[in-house]
Amino acid sequence: MKPILITGGVGFIGTNVAMRLLESGRSVVALDNMSRRGVEQNLHWLRARHPKLFRIEVADVRDTAALARIVPEVSAVYHFAAQTAVTTSMSDPDHDFDVNARGTVKLLEAVRACKSPPPLLYTSTNKVYGGLNDVVLRKRAGRYEPEDAAIRAAGVSEARPLAFHTPYGCSKGTADQYVLDYARSYSMPAVVFRMSCIYGPYQCGTEDQGWVAHFALRALAGKPITIYGDGCQVRDLLYIEDLVDAMLLAQQRIDTVGGQAFNIGGGAANTASLLDVVDALERLNGGCEVKFHDWRPSDQRYYVSDTGLFRAATGWRPKTDVARGIAQMYDWLRTTQAQRLSRKRAGRDSERSSPDLTTAPSETR
């Protein structure tokens, strides 16, 4: 069978999707410019475990020539390559637009040029709904929740009007709409996932993106966790394996789900405030230090995905609850860090016991 293309293929989501596909015997081409810190380790894991089925193409999603060469040879496309941080988009909106919007259009054009266009799945964001400032909230038991009982019970649905906020929201929202319009205007098999908070193994979490993993990494390092706002912000958390399940289902059922946008997250059954996540990590780690700073732009105080539309179309629902997911992610990060430390120590010991080859031969005998 033709390989499957994953843009941003050695990032967090790309690595997990690639692993699942490779383990099922499918070949994968990962297109990645290797700009994100930590992805070199993901690349090492993929190459080491599946050397015959995995191929890396070090290129940017805006590279028209690379796309024209690679896209015609693949059977499906998962489009994850992006500028992912709201903060970065605020400081450099031109770059943010160029990668997220223009890069997506370049990929869509490469797909459209194929005689038989491969199905494409694009990962959008809940930020396309803006700050949700019109949703009246109350604070109860250390977390925000909507006054509206329907939103409280099910979350935010796809019927919610789009309201792009911040350059990041604008660039991802623009790409979101381009994917849907290419499906409509050119009959291209494509689907959009508007995603909430995803977490799990292979995530190089930072303060700006991948906050659950970032909190865990800070706890493991014995460093303070910074919370912007009061920590009562609520998100629905989706463990990465459940997201991969949803993505594979979407590709398998592209004939029925194509041309649609779906809100994808843990849903109302898997919500947590930032403080809830800190509490979970404290239990696992034996304590965490927390610092508070001012709110950041367009930080939604409450966002929970109503995943009912995708569930009705495919039967999908998350299998991993928040407590188990955070524990699994924490154990993976702790084990991985211990392995890295062991390799570093082994390297230092080897250097001490090896002869210094930079000295004269008479001194090394």
SS (H, E, C) 301-351: CEECECCHHHHHHHCCCCCCCHHHHHHHHHHHHHHHHHHHHHHHHHHHHHH
| ∠ Cα 203 205 207 (to 5°) | 170
Q: Annotated active-site positions, please?
A: 168
Rounded CA separation 75/116 (Å)? 9
For β-strands 143-146 and 137-140, DSSP reports them as: antiparallel
Over the Cα atoms of the chain, what is R_g?
22
Helix residue ranges per DSSP H, the chain = 12-23, 39-49, 64-70, 86-91, 93-97, 103-112, 149-154, 166-185, 211-221, 240-252, 254-257, 274-285, 308-314, 322-353, 361-364
Q: Look at the block and give the residue holding tokens 């770059």.
A: 95
Determine the Cα angle at 39 with ends 95 and 109, to 5°: 45
